[in-house]
Each structure stands twice: as structure tokens, then as C-alpha cells.
Amino acid sequence: MLAGLALSTATGRIEGFDFQFSKGRLAADEIFDSATSPPARYVIELARRISAAASSADLLVIANPLLPLKAEQIAGWITGSAFGPMLLADADGFPLLYCLPRAAFAEIEPFLLMLSAVDADLDQRLLTGLTGLSLPVHRLAGLTIGEYPISTPGGWFQGSLRQRVLKLTTANAIKIVESRSDWRNVPVAAYHPYHAGSIVFFAMASRDVTTPLVKRHVICSSYKDIIAGTASTLAPIWLKLPFLPRDGSVGEPHYFVHSLDRLGEAVLKDNFLVFMRYSRVSAVSPFHMIDHDRFSLGESLTRTEHLRQVQPPLVSERCAAPAAPLRVLFHVTGGLPIKNYPLDYAKVAIRCLRALGIQISVIGRPDLEPFGAVSVEADETDSLIAAVREHHIFIGLDSFPHHYVRNVMGWPTIGLFGTTGSANFGGGWSAQYRALDANLACHPCGAETSCPVFGSSECINYARPEHLVAAILSMAEQVYGFAVE
Amino acid sequence: MLVLAFFDTGFLGGDERWRRLREARPASRQHFPLNLPSTLGQYDLAKPEQTAPVVGMARQAGIDGFVIDCRWLGGAYRHDAAVLAPFCGEAFGLAFRWRNGEEPVWADGAAGLEQVERAGALVAALKDAPAVRLGGRPVVIVEDPKHLAAPAAVIAALRQAAEQAGLPGLYLIANRAEDKGRFLSVGFDSLIDPSPEEWHSCTPSNRATGLDYLEVMAGMKDSADYLDRFFPYLTFTVSRMIERERRGKVMPRVFASFHNWLRHPDGGSTHLMAGSRPFDTHLFELFVENSMLFAHSHFPAGERAIFLQSWNGWLDGTQIEPSLLDGDLVFNAARAAIDRGRYMILTRGETPGEIDDVLKERVALLCEAAKGAL
């Protein structure tokens, strides 16, 4: 639930607006659901939407997106008090709503990204600096939000450690605004330093934004080749830290603190930092991660036709070699055992393809050579590109090679999805791309260790080998005119 | 992609059905209590002002039509399409579930002439209803296809009667989980997964033993442990989707919950459980959206549908309508899932061409051989 009010001080008119996170319809009362957007991004979006719908209002009230608030509820809090710019918080200082002049929301829009949405006093200080207005913080004595849960039914995960991250970015912003008269010229930098697949999506999104709020991108220096290959429009700020381990041994908030240390004072002084790793559960939203990132970077995405996922891909290429012999490159290892394509499925698919006269290479799996595949090394972006170019079709899992090959190279690709959803991480649906899964009713579960239904270490939602082989043959026929003898 | 919901028209012209619901009391602590309506109230479908919001709310959820019962009563086929018809149109229509199992004539292999007459009567009863269409034809679910002694002849008679009545034909769906060469080959257009009661798609979590029986008889155990069947919702629904394309052209039936103890006062009821609750909205959403994607990927354009059990099946706890105990949780989940499913279908576009059946068979055989060689 997302809500706000438009107030007219001259007439005393109050108009309420209720929105919900979209499940795909993107109706007039829905707002795009982006996992990489911090709560403050929704403050901006609400202000945009309400401002456009209520052009005669002079004050806007925006409810804290982290809270399940309705316009009727916040109107009840506002009614009876004198209208004016202010913040309303609960008894402990958790922000409930922000009331600012309508024009101010537009004037300081990119800098609103640094609102914490979890600390009214910090947000008041930031907004005072940004607007020059005197902004009282009123507290609602009878309401205490209490400890915000680690995850909510509405899709947020903003437990206390993550709240500290938000407060740190707000505190840094306050420092800049209060110490630099030229703060309006200080760029906003997105903190989104890992992982490789996410970097591909973020970089591709940066090329597809018409109203950017962000100019720079804090990113692990080990991803220089990806940034170069994707032609990101965001200026990189290299973070000289190894990327976050996937085994959960280091939490994101802790990594963030180490990142600040490593970035150093100069970077913090010269950049507003905004946290754009996940704030919401990605699978709650039906939309693709590139569109999640486009929204985070500034696009409003109010209609389905605005979404990259329903448009032709930005890049489309294909193999120049003759259609026969058909050559297929297979990436079967997804980084976690449950994300791997089931071993027996892979063996069967390889044997079947070989029997049909198709040459098959696998990335980094010499153990599959006895079944007829050739193992190739492609552990760097350059070697991946070189390997892909020698094959007609790439088959990948929900991991970096798939995302790069599909989105950056535009190569004919088949995506195999088990625990995660093709809607979030796939590559669209065209003659040059197919996403395959078994449509099980548990999908996507997001499991990272074992199957939550059957307890197995492999995921049974992967498409069976006969479906995979059929999809390869069908794509080969459509894209290359290949026919099995 | 059509989303059609089973609809109970029994809430018509009196309070009897609602009274039965109000007075229903579980006989075991393991039985979830039945729920009562909130937003739409205990409506009487005979009153248009009460029926209009029912259809309106279903449309709001993204449902394209209702499936209502048609049965032989008092010498004629009867249904209640007339009470819903004023609220139907281009975007909302009706399909029928033909309760053929209640008519002995269909099991009689020697009653060919009478069956032809009945087929004509059935089509005459359906022909003016505002129909949703699959394959361009009005939809009829044959509830008990095994009850047809001569299914091919019955289907031919129905099609002929439809033609004579000026209909573009009928889209006939057999209520069976698996084809096994018995239904599609005799002329059915497709199949539909049976209801949870008819098809226990996984093993129950209570597998009663002789000792259980003795303990029940000795008064040491709840008889529901022995007589009823309890299933974990997730396993039950996942099992319905595993390798489902191998079952033939079977349309998915989805449900948020199911507990039909009211219909089984002496035991033998079926219960789906999500932990300690009758439903889990997240799992239900996944069931719906994956079913929609399956239908999109595996059925021809114009024949893609899933069936939601149900809009108002209050008596077996399957209702989507907002309720006193659950508010609009299940309604919102249905709406969200349908929205998500439709959006995902939009992103996938039309299913690309497939390889021909001969090559498909060759691939299947090669895979089978490769599997055997592992």
C-alpha cells in the first residue's frame, strides 16, 4: 500500500490517493514494484503521481512507503492540524509521512533518494537543508511502530541492520548539504556493487532511462570488463573489495560499512550515496530486473508498453557460421547446487543432441565429456564472448553468462529456470530467446540449499531434457534454418 | 487466456443454502470451520441488485466467466444462466458443467435413441446462454465421462445437435486427469483436472493403520484421523503439475483451499492444509500463475484456460469471495495471481513454433534410451 494526499491551503481541500504495488496490470492506481528501489524512491514516485493528478494543490503529503498506510488514515492524522510543511512521526521517531510544498518535491527530486524513511529526525534535517524550510517533526504520541520486521507481507526487507545502512546514506547526504554550498552539483551515486548478473541488468537499465536520478555507480572493481562490455551510462566509482560472498558469511549491511571505509572520505564528500541493492523481495514483483533497475534509476514505468521485457531486445546478433553442423554451448553450473541443471538431465540432453549430429560444448565441465560434450573454459567475460561466438545457440541458467549473452550480446539463447523466475531474470520471448521451466506450483521458491518441497539437492522445476532438445531444434530451425537429417 | 471460476447458483430464491452454511458445525477439531461472506453478503441471486456486484467483483479479480451446473430435473435440462445473463457480455460469459452422472440413461448402452433426444434437449437448454468460448465454441464440462456407455456416439450426437441449433459446435471437456487414450480419441476437445476430492494427487499425511482403527473404536483417537484424508497443500498442488504435459491435453484446475466435511457427515472427507491453516495465499498465487503459464505454453491459441475452484463454493471452503474470517486475503491473492499470470504471458508473447511430431517422438525415444544407458 502506498498513499498520499494533495492539500490546497487556500480552499482547505484534501484529496486522497491510494496506490498499490503492481502485480503486472500497471493500472492507474498501481506503482511499479522494484526490488532495487529504496523506500525513498517510492516517495519520489508518489509525489510525481499525486502532483500530476492534483495540479492545483500546493502541499503534498506522502506516506512512508514502508508502512501499510491508506489515504483515509493519513487524512485523519492531518485533519484538524494547521496545514504546513512538516514531518509526522510515531512516538519513537519513525517517519509516518512527509508534507512538503508541491514544487519542492520536483526541485529536489534526485536528492530525495537519500531520505532514510526510518528516522524522522535525520530526514527532517536533510529536508531542511535541501529546501531551506523550517520543518517541524510532529510526533503521534499514541502510535509506536515498534521494531520493523526483517521482512513484511508487503515485500519489504528492512530489518534494523538495513535501516542503519539507510541512516548512514542519509547522514552522509546531510553532511554534504550542510557543508557544501554547491551541493546541487554533487552527483547521486547508486551503491549496487555486485553480483555479476545484477551488474549486467543495472548497466543495461542505465542505457534505457530518460529521466535519470542517478549519475554514478559504485561497483566492485573486478567487474570492469562487464561495465566496458555493457556500455553503462553511469560513471563508475570503483570499489576495491572482493564482491560479497554468496555463502551468507558476510551480511550486506556489514559489507556496506566496509565499502564506506574502502571508498574513503573523498568519495563520500563528493557523492550522494543511495543504496540500490535489494530492499524488496525480487520475486514478489512480476517484472524483469532490468525494469526494476530502470525504475530505481528514475523511470516511472506507468504502462506495460514502457517495459523493456515486452519490447524487442536492445541488441540482437547471431552466429555467422553455416547452420550445419549445429553447435550449442551449454552452461549447466548455476553457482549453487540447487541452481545447477540436474546432472542426469544434462547427460541425457547431451547424449540426445550428439545422436542427432549436434555438437555440444559445456562450460567448465570435463566430467561431462564422456557423454559426448566438449568442455571449454569461459571463466572470464572475454573467453565467454569468444566461446559464444563459435556456437549457434547458448543455453544458460539464471546466472551471469546467461544474462550477459542474452542482454549484452543478444545471442540466440535458451534460459533454463528452476528455483527462480524467468519473469524476473529471463530474456524476453522471441525467436532468439526462450525460457524453459516445468511450471511447478512451487516456482519460484528462491531456495539456495535444497528443495523445500522434496528435500532433494536438485530442482525438479527444470525442463526435462526432451523439452530442452526440442527447444534447441525449434530455435535452430527458426533462426538458422537448421534441419535434423 | 481465460480464467473461469466454478459458481454455485444454489444461492437463489431463498435462504436455504446460506442457512445450511450458517448452521454447519465441524465434527472434529481437525476440520476447519466453514466461512461466511463479508463484502457481498448472503446474497439472493434472484435479486439483480445483489447479483450485479457478485459478477462485478469477479470481473475485478480478472475472472472471465463462471462455470455453472446444468442437470436433468423434472423432465428437462435446467440451469440458472438467466440470473447471471444480464451481467454477462463480451468480457464475461458462462460455461456449463453437465452433471451427466445423475442420469442413468447415459450408462445404458442400449438407449441410443433416447440419448440422441437428450443430447438435443441439452443443447437446446444451453444455446441461448451468454457463453464463453474455447476454440470458438461454447464450453461444456462433462462431469462424469466414464458414465457414458458410448462416449463417441454421445459426443457425435451433441455436436450434431449443436449444429442443428445453429451453434458453432461445442467445446467438450472431460473431467479426467489423464487421457490414457480413452477421451481425446473419442472426441473430447480436452480434459480438466478433477476436483481435490475426486483426485488425491499425492499421498495423504495421515495414512491410517489398523491400530489407528482400533484406537478410534476404543475412543482413544479422533475418527477423522482414520476416516478423513489430510493433504499438505504444497505437495498436493506441486504433484498436479509434475510432468503434467504427459497426461495429455488437460486443463488445470486451481484452488486456494478445500475441506468438504459438510458433505461427508459420516467421514471420508478431503482436507488440504497449509501448515495449520486452510490456505496459504502465496502458494495459491504460485499455483494459479504457473497453471496459467502452463496453459499458455501447451495449448493452442483460443483454447487456453484455467479453472478456478471456486468463486462461491462456501460449502467446501473453496470460495474466493471475501469472507468474515479471512477478509479479502484470498480474493486479493486470486486477483494478484491472475494479474501476474497475464503479465508473464504478455512478456512471453506467442509460443514459438514447435518441432513436428515425428521429430518430437524421435527426441523422446533418444532421451529415453540415453536415460536407460546412464
* pLDDT (0 to 100) of residue A82: 66
CATH number of the domain within which B44 lies: 3.20.20.80
**Cα A246 from Cα B31, distance rounded (Å):** 43
As a whole number, mean pLDDT of residues A441-445 equals 95
Q: Assign residue B2 a region (left: φ > 0; alpha: ψ between -120 and 50; beta: otherwise).
A: beta
Residue A162 reports pLDDT greater than 70: yes
Residue B352 reports pLDDT greater than 70: no
Domain A327-480 class, CATH top level: alpha beta
Query: What does the block give as the cell for B298?
Result: 501447451
* Residues forming beta bridges with residue A138, ordered by sequence position: A88
pLDDT, chain A, mean: 95
Closest-CA distance, B274 to chain A, in angstroms, reads 12
Cis bond leading into A337, ω under 30°?
A: no
Interchain proximity B359–A473, CB inside 8 Å: yes
Contact (Cβ atoms closer than 8 angstroms) between residue B359 and residue A484: yes
As a whole number, mean pLDDT of residues B251-270 equals 96
% of chain A at pLDDT higher than 70: 99
Ranges of CATH 3.40.50.2000 domains, chain A: 327-480
Residue A431 reports pLDDT greater than 80: no
Contact (Cβ atoms closer than 8 angstroms) between residue A46 and residue A62: yes
Q: A300 by DSSP, 3-state: which?
A: coil
Query: Based on the structure, what is the number of domains in chain B?
Result: 1
* Residues near A154 by beta carbon (within 8 Å), at least 6 away in sequence: A1, A21, A68
Dihedral sign (CA A92, A96, A98, A99): negative
Q: Is A219 exposed, middle or buried (0-12, 13-18, 19+ CB in 10 A)?
A: buried
Closest-CA distance, B368 to chain A, in angstroms, reads 8
Band of pLDDT at residue A177, cut at 50, 70 and 90? very high
Closest-CA distance, A237 to chain B, in angstroms, reads 34
Per CB-CB distance under 8 Å, the chain A contacts of B293 are: 439
Per CB-CB distance under 8 Å, the chain A contacts of B359 are: 470, 473, 484
Chain B residues touching chain A at CB-CB below 8 Å: 234-235, 237-238, 240-244, 283, 286-287, 290-291, 293-294, 297, 335-337, 339-344, 346-349, 352-355, 359-360, 363-364, 366-367, 370-371, 373-374
Residue type, B277: R
Scanning A207-251, the segments in alpha helix (DSSP H) are 224-230
Domain span at residue B51 reads: 2-373
As a whole number, mean pLDDT of residues B288-302 equals 95
Choose the mutation target among A466, A472, A485 for the interface with B, i.e. most B CBs under 10 Å: A466
Band of pLDDT at residue A80, cut at 50, 70 and 90? low
Band of pLDDT at residue B348, cut at 50, 70 and 90? confident
Per CB-CB distance under 8 Å, the chain B contacts of A23 are: 335-337, 339-340, 343
* pLDDT (0 to 100) of residue B351: 66
% of chain B at pLDDT higher than 90: 92
Interchain proximity A288–B347, CB inside 8 Å: yes
Cell 527426441 locates to B363
Interchain proximity B355–A429, CB inside 8 Å: no
Contact (Cβ atoms closer than 8 angstroms) between residue B61 and residue B74: no
* pLDDT (0 to 100) of residue A237: 98
Residue A467 vs residues A348, B177, B298: alpha-carbon distances, Å: 11, 22, 12
* pLDDT (0 to 100) of residue B86: 97
CA B71 to chain centre: 16
Residue A414 reports pLDDT greater than 70: yes
Cell 502506498 locates to A2
Cis bond leading into A195, ω under 30°?
A: yes
* pLDDT (0 to 100) of residue B250: 97
- Lowest average pLDDT, out of A106-120, B142-156, B175-189, goes to B175-189
As a whole number, mean pLDDT of residues A348-372 equals 97
CA A2 to chain centre: 19
As a whole number, mean pLDDT of residues B347-362 equals 84
CB–CB contacts below 8 A, A to B: 128
DSSP state of B104: G
Interchain proximity A344–B374, CB inside 8 Å: yes
pLDDT, tens digit, for every residue of A31-43? 999 999 999 999 9
What is the DSSP annotation of B121-147? Answer: HHHHHHTTS-B-EETTEEEEEES-GGG
Q: Is A316 exposed, middle or buried (0-12, 13-18, 19+ CB in 10 A)?
A: middle
Query: What does the block give as the cell for B36?
Result: 461466511
Choose the mutation target among B292, B298, B350, B355 for the interface with A, i.e. most A CBs under 10 Å: B355
* pLDDT (0 to 100) of residue B195: 98
Residue A303 reports pLDDT greater than 90: yes
